[in-house]
Structure 1
Amino acid sequence: MIKKQFRSFYFRHMIHDIEKLIEYFSVFGGLGWKVDIDASLEDLIQTEILDNFGSLYNQITELTTNEPQYLKLLTNLARGDRRIFSAFNKSGLTNLSGGLSLKHLQEMGVLEAEYSREEPPIKDNNKLKREVARHRISHKMRFTSPFLRFWFYFIAPMKKEIELGHYQKVMDNFRQHHQAFIGYTFEELSNVLLKHKLSSSQLVDSGSYWDRHVEIDLMATTLDNKLIIGECKWKNHKLNKKELNKIHEKCEKVGFEPDILMLFSKRGFSKELLSMQDKELRLYSCEDFEDLLSNISQADLIQGFERE
């Protein structure tokens, strides 16, 4: 879905600066209407979202039925690590009530599941350590569009302030967290680019990997049993060899022996890292995401929320 939304957003706005395209898409992707790309992101948040809060709130409420437990859950999923049990705990929900909430929100097209690929611990004659025995493998949830995640990350928790016209608190919060927020959208798009580069016919699966030890942005396996590990960094500097060392450290923790390593960077790579690039180390910058935008046409347009 995110690839279709990305192509639709590009066709509607024709932002040729890929870094800017990803930044604006992370907020307005899936909203479904054209915004003034010459305006700053902060100005657009005010004019397109905060000034249209009432209309958007009513449309989103149709999806969530304005249930307080849904709103708490969605906010915690947007702001947290997206793990189901973690979000239940933060929202004060039991596994039963949380599960029913997720079922409804999936049926309404707000969320979709991302299933864990963590292997359960192997039991032998000895008892498992307490921390291992108590650990629960948890799936994650992701929002079906960047805009919905933006809404429940920055907008819904500040409903009262927005209705009173106190926009400054919303914008201060956005300035503080927006780089990390955009980083997740970059990770999702990096997974799309990974699939594009390797071709889906070679892949068994791809997506993030997490367990009680590590979080890995991307892990993919191929039909010929190759393991691909990737990390995505939305940082305002070039990545250097330290990032490569961090990936190796993560892999060692969980016993992974990757055949291919991939790094995705907002601002490119150091000369040292570029000199190391080969079939086993593949480096991708913002410019490479242009590959996802070929042969764009009117047919790529997706409708979203109605504009007041």
Structure 2
Amino acid sequence: MRFYDRQNELRTLERMYRLSKNAKHMLVVLGRRRIGKTRLIKEFIRGKKSFYFFVERSSSAMLLQRISNELARMMPKKVVGTLDWELAFKILLEDFDVVVLDEFQNILSVDESALSTLQHVWDEFNGSTLLILVGSYQTMMKKIFEDYRTPLYGRSSGRLRVEPLSYRYVRRILLDMKFRGEENMMNIYSILGGVPLYYEFIERFGISGTWKDIVKAMFIEEPRPLIDEPHVLLVGEFGRQQSTYMSILEAIARGKSTMTEIANATGIPEKSLGKYLKELSQDYEIIERKVPMFSPPNSKRGRYFLRDPFLTFWFRFIYPNMSMIELGQGDELIRSIENNVNAHMGRIFEKIVAEIIAEQFKPLKMGSWWNRRGDEIDIVAELENEVLFVECKWRNRKITWREVEDLIRKSELVKIEASKKRRYMIVSKSGFTENCRNRIDEKGIIYWDLSDLERAMKVPNE
């Protein structure tokens, strides 16, 4: 599969590369496993005088032997025999413009003293190079670079976080794979999210058709390439307490968003739950806490959501139904998912619409809004001279004028600056009734259906 997007990340890497021509720079690159960090780095170092090394969980002696062998191959006159960490780091920094150590957090389990050696060599090095340290596990990488007691604390020039691809580029991938239909492609995105490797699996296994075919191939029919993916992603982060974290994530994926709801669903007392929610949001960055738009960050009306569509889908539909899959009841599971897929897709649809609004309207601030009485507005975007209130409907019937009136009613409950106007927007998967469309035109309300989103989502040169 060809390389998609990552233009912002490549620009950051190239900028750091230019800066490293005059001084040494250490850049930390973070992102979960399989997100495409290695592919990004290899695209960047192409044509540059570089050294790339994958840090395996092996013995210190084995790693040093591999580094020594690779350096001896590249510079046979300079490297003979096996190096120690100090000499290896010195040669790397002195002889290459870019040095990449991938899965760098594994150093902690291989030889923690290598961190002190690297700190010493780095502090003594007066040349110019770009050292890129790539890592997958949040907690380990944060321990290495954020704990003031660790050797590399304060040494990095900055961080680059590699995020999942947005729907815009996932859509481009799916179109290149001959998938069609905006609704179908959005549903596939709601299942696989923005991890490029998962779409490579589509190519490898020759999958085509609808989102149901994706679910069958990835989770139900052997070899089920993604059935255990979240375990692989998260077990290294969670360790012994993985069952507690997994139960919390399942509860959130199933729509339990307040602390009380999550506590009731998991049986974890609220006093204990706060610690886990804080770690999942701040340390692991798997969930996010949102508060109503225009509310203070410490609002008691905060709600929790999974950040990632793939994890949301897996924890909602696959994890609780492993026994159905093992018993060969895949068709029943597909029917169950089909009955609930619109509810799952609702928040993903809001996310896609929010991306377009951010791009086209350039809001000062954007979020959702809700109150204690159950009134909710999907997206509220504060602009320079107005506030845009947006309702997103992913369902199989058309929007009526009564629902537009309800959005206007709810917007009046939101306190905004007196100088700003209220503006309205409705986005519907299934379109609008004729009466609704006529009245929307009269009121000057923005309305989009899937064809409008399709036009807005086209990437350059499409």
- Normalising by structure 1, we get a TM-score of 0.78
User: Do the aligned partners of residues 193 and 54 (structure 1) sit closer, same or farther apart at CA in structure 2, a change above 3 Å counting?
Assistant: closer
Shift of 1:160: 3.2
Assess if the C-alpha contact under 8 Å between 2:292 and 2:301 holds in 1.
yes
Assess if the C-alpha contact under 8 Å between 2:172 and 2:459 holds in 1.
no
User: Do the aligned partners of residues 137 and 109 (structure 1) sit closer, same or farther apart at CA in structure 2, a change above 3 Å counting?
Assistant: closer
Assess if the C-alpha contact under 8 Å between 1:193 and 1:292 holds in 2.
yes
Aligned to 1:148: 311
Q: For 1:1-308, what aligned pairs fall within 5 Å after superposition? A: 4-14=165-175, 15-32=179-196, 33-34=198-199, 35=202, 38-50=208-220, 51-52=224-225, 54-62=227-235, 63-65=237-239, 67-106=242-281, 107-117=283-293, 119=295, 137-198=300-361, 200=362, 203-213=363-373, 214-224=375-385, 226-253=386-413, 259-275=422-438, 276-277=440-441, 280-290=444-454, 291-295=456-460
Code of the aligned partner of 1:115: V
Larger radius of gyration: 2
Deviations 1:5-61 (A, max 9, x none): 313312321145222221111111234322256323223212112323554253134
Assess if the C-alpha contact under 8 Å between 1:206 and 1:218 holds in 2.
yes
User: Do the aligned partners of residues 247 and 109 (structure 1) sit closer, same or farther apart at CA in structure 2, a change above 3 Å counting?
Assistant: same
Greater displacement, 187-196 / 157-166:
157-166
Shift of 1:148: 0.9
User: Do the aligned partners of residues 253 and 163 (structure 1) sit closer, same or farther apart at CA in structure 2, a change above 3 Å counting?
Assistant: same
> 2-side partners of 1:58 and 1:71: how far apart?
9
Greater displacement, 38-47 / 174-183:
38-47
> 2-side partners of 1:289 and 1:3: how far apart?
20
Code of the aligned partner of 1:245: E
Greater displacement, 83-92 / 22-31:
83-92
User: Do the aligned partners of residues 11 and 27 (structure 1) sit closer, same or farther apart at CA in structure 2, a change above 3 Å counting?
Assistant: same
> 2-side partners of 1:87 and 1:118: how far apart?
24
User: Do the aligned partners of residues 25 and 274 (structure 1) sit closer, same or farther apart at CA in structure 2, a change above 3 Å counting?
Assistant: same
> 2-side partners of 1:78 and 1:114: how far apart?
15
Three-state SS of the structure 2 residue aligned to 1:4 is: coil
Assess if the C-alpha contact under 8 Å between 1:260 and 1:281 holds in 2.
yes
> 2-side partners of 1:104 and 1:162: how far apart?
31
Unaligned runs of 5+ in 2: 1-161
User: Do the aligned partners of residues 10 and 221 (structure 1) sit closer, same or farther apart at CA in structure 2, a change above 3 Å counting?
Assistant: same
> 1-side partners of 2:183 and 2:338: how far apart?
17
Aligned to 2:24: none
Assess if the C-alpha contact under 8 Å between 1:28 and 1:146 holds in 2.
yes
Shift of 1:194: 1.9
Aligned to 1:128: none
Shift of 1:154: 0.5
Shift of 1:184: 1.6
- Normalising by structure 2, we get a TM-score of 0.54
Aligned to 2:61: none
Higher relative contact order (CA 8 A, sep 6+): 1
> 1-side partners of 2:308 and 2:425: how far apart?
25
> 1-side partners of 2:210 and 2:459: how far apart?
26
> How many equivalent residue pairs?
278
> 2-side partners of 1:2 and 1:268: how far apart?
32
Deviations 1:258-298 (A, max 9, x none): 6101100102222333333368410011122232332279x
RMSD: 2.9
> 2-side partners of 1:113 and 1:207: how far apart?
12
Assess if the C-alpha contact under 8 Å between 1:111 and 1:144 holds in 2.
yes
> 1-side partners of 2:251 and 2:461: how far apart?
35
